[in-house]
Amino acid sequence: MKELEDRIRRDGTVKPGDVLKVDAFLNHQCDVTLFDRMGAEWARIFADRHIDKILTIEASGIGIACVAARHFGNCPVVFAKKTQSINLDGDQYTARVYSYTKQKEFPVIVSKRFLTAGEHVLLIDDFLANGKAMSGLIDICNEAGVKIEGIGIAIEKGFQRGGKELRAAGYDVASLAIVKSMDGEKGTVEFA
């Protein structure tokens, strides 16, 4: 998606440890018009799929998933939580995920009330790096017995292994921008 690539070039910054910072438009300040066009693009890519529900992970997935849902018949959006809380009652699906950016493990939790066996689910997230967050969501989907129709990613870091592994496992991964390489010193980002 050229518009997203241009925006990353313009407003993204490369941080040490191969981290791309896009907080000016994606995961702190949100450009909702851009989110809307991203949602339209996923809807075009997954036009032949029936989607009952979108599943994402807090926090940065929520905004893009909610706007994307407008392009998938206003389907419900469920987001996995990363912390236990007294508001999370009843039975839950949980998986453990290692965070690349925070360099620590955290749980992903979805209430059993919001995933029903047989539902057709689209997974959405802001970044795909080593694929740990997606693996956690996939584990939960498998436990719940829902069908994963596809995976929509805003920015895939193609030089990390997540995208390759998910595609090899047979998942339909639609990344709107795939970063081939980044140079922290020059501040440049190359796309696939």
Could you list the residues that contact ligand 5GP (CB under 6 A)? 19-22, 27, 60, 99-101, 125-133, 157, 162
Q: Smallest distance from the beta carbon of 140 to ligand 5GP, in angstroms?
A: 14
| 41 vs 156, beta carbon nearer ligand 5GP | 156
Residues 115 and 141: beta-carbon distance below 8 Å: yes
At its nearest, how many Å lie between ligand 5GP and the CB of residue 90? 26
**Minimum CB distance to ligand 5GP, residue 133 (Å):** 4
Q: How far are the Cα atoms of 26, 46, 53, 74, 154 from residue 36, in angstroms, in the given order?
A: 12, 15, 17, 13, 12
- Whether the CB-CB separation of 94 and 109 falls below 8 Å is answered with yes
Q: Which is nearer to ligand 5GP, 51 or 182 (CB)?
A: 182
Closer of 20 and 177 to ligand 5GP (Cβ): 20
C-alpha atoms less than 13 angstroms from C-alpha of 160 in its C-beta half-sphere: 18
> 107: closest CA among 126, 88, 93?
93
- Cα separation, 51 vs 69, in Å, equals 10
- Nearest distance in Å: CB 47, ligand 5GP: 25
Measured from the CB atom, is 51 or 129 closer to ligand 5GP? 129
